Homo-oligomer: A and B are copies of this chain.
Amino acid sequence: MTEQSRFPPRPRILLTNDDGISSDTLWATYQALQRIGDVLVCAPATQQSAVGRSLSIFKPLRVHEVMMHDVVSYAVEGSPTDSVVIGLFALKWNPDLVVSGTNIGENLSCEAVTTSGTIGAALEAANHGVPAIAFSLQVLDQGAKFSDPRQQERKFDEVTTVVEDVVRRVMTQGFPSGVHVLNVNIPHIITGAYEVTTLAHKLFQTDVEMRHDPRGREYFWLTGPLIKEAPKGTDIYAVNQGNISITPLTIDCTARGREEAVLELFL
């Protein structure tokens, strides 16, 4: 569990994401963070959605020093998790906090924790003992998630405002002990307040779509609409009510309290 709870007056922050270093919501997030601390941007060079906490063990990683928005930044030819490892161990940034996002598209439920690249980066940081916050923005049109984000420019001021407020609260009051990652989801239109939530079970009604290529051979697309129904108190419910969902996460997935039942199986 995270022991550390207090931060220095001007903390060192590592900023990454999974949509890639050119994402406008990464830079809306940067705007908030640079008011609070010293920020190193180290993020995937390209789109890495749905890669979870995958890391590159079969290929070497290139890291490009690039100037973006007048900021010297690092573009990693790998996953969000690779970017965190490069930031910590190659660039030796030694952050007080890792921020991942803001992702274009909500990261909600037990599904997102292990499939989202945004959250994957945060889990990696947490496993190295660095408190981490993942930010994601609900997008109503799923197709728009990966298209030109400038269409949603209005929302980006809200992203900056929410990121700054959340991080300032954590910096002032400390990162809650016993929590590894705060998973923050911002609704498409904020009509409520902050709501501390639990993970819903599942976000997507998984399915596949079979198609045929021009040569008549089958291939499949993973697909599935969003699940809108979830119990009160969950992250999905909160965001659909217009609240900013804050879910405290742990990296310890041991099913606690079930030891007896499992012991009986293996006597």
What would 14 more interface pairs be, CB under 8 Å, given A60-B211, A249-B255?
A49-B58, A50-B54, A50-B56, A61-B220, A82-B222, A85-B222, A110-B253, A113-B251, A114-B123, A176-B261, A178-B258, A196-B262, A248-B262, A251-B253
Instruction: Assess the B53–A52 pair: CB atoms within 8 A.
Output: yes
Task: Identify the stretch in A96-104, A152-160, A200-208 within 8 Å (CB) of chain B at 4 or more residues.
Answer: A200-208
Measured between alpha carbons, how far is A209 from B3 in the docked complex, in Å?
29
Report if A220-B253 is in contact (Cβ < 8 Å); known contacts: A52-B120, A123-B114, A266-B196: no
Nearest 7 Cβ contacts at the A-B interface: A52-B52, A194-B266, A176-B261, A248-B255, A250-B255, A53-B114, A51-B54
Instruction: Assess the B259–A196 pair: CB atoms within 8 A.
Output: yes
Q: Does A163 contact B (CB under 8 A)?
A: no
A window 205-257: CB within 8 A of B: 206-208, 210-211, 218-222, 246-257
Q: Does A115 contact B (CB under 8 A)?
A: yes
* Contacting residues, chain B, for A85 (C-beta < 8 A): 206, 208, 222
A226 to chain B, nearest CB (A): 14
Measured between alpha carbons, how far is A84 from B252 in the docked complex, in Å?
24
Instruction: Assess the B248–A199 pair: CB atoms within 8 A.
Output: no
Report if A264-B86 is in contact (Cβ < 8 Å); known contacts: A61-B219, A253-B113, A255-B180: no
* Contacting residues, chain B, for A123 (C-beta < 8 A): 114
Measured between alpha carbons, how far is A249 from B61 in the docked complex, in Å?
32
A230 to chain B, nearest CB (A): 13
Question: Chain A interface (Cβ within 8 Å of chain B)?
Answer: 47, 49-58, 60-63, 81-82, 85-86, 88-90, 110-111, 113-115, 120, 123, 127-128, 169-170, 173, 176-180, 182, 194, 196, 198-199, 201-202, 206-208, 210-211, 218-222, 246-259, 261-266
Measured between alpha carbons, how far is A45 from B196 in the docked complex, in Å?
42
Closest B residue to A126 by CB, please name it: B110
* Contacting residues, chain B, for A115 (C-beta < 8 A): 53-55, 81
Measured between alpha carbons, how far is A128 from B207 in the docked complex, in Å?
11
Q: Report 28 cross-chain contacts, Cβ distance below 8 Å, ordered by A residue.
A: A47-B58, A49-B57, A52-B54, A52-B55, A56-B222, A61-B219, A62-B219, A85-B206, A85-B208, A86-B220, A89-B207, A128-B206, A169-B265, A173-B264, A173-B265, A176-B262, A176-B265, A178-B257, A178-B258, A179-B258, A196-B259, A196-B262, A198-B252, A246-B265, A248-B255, A250-B253, A250-B256, A253-B253
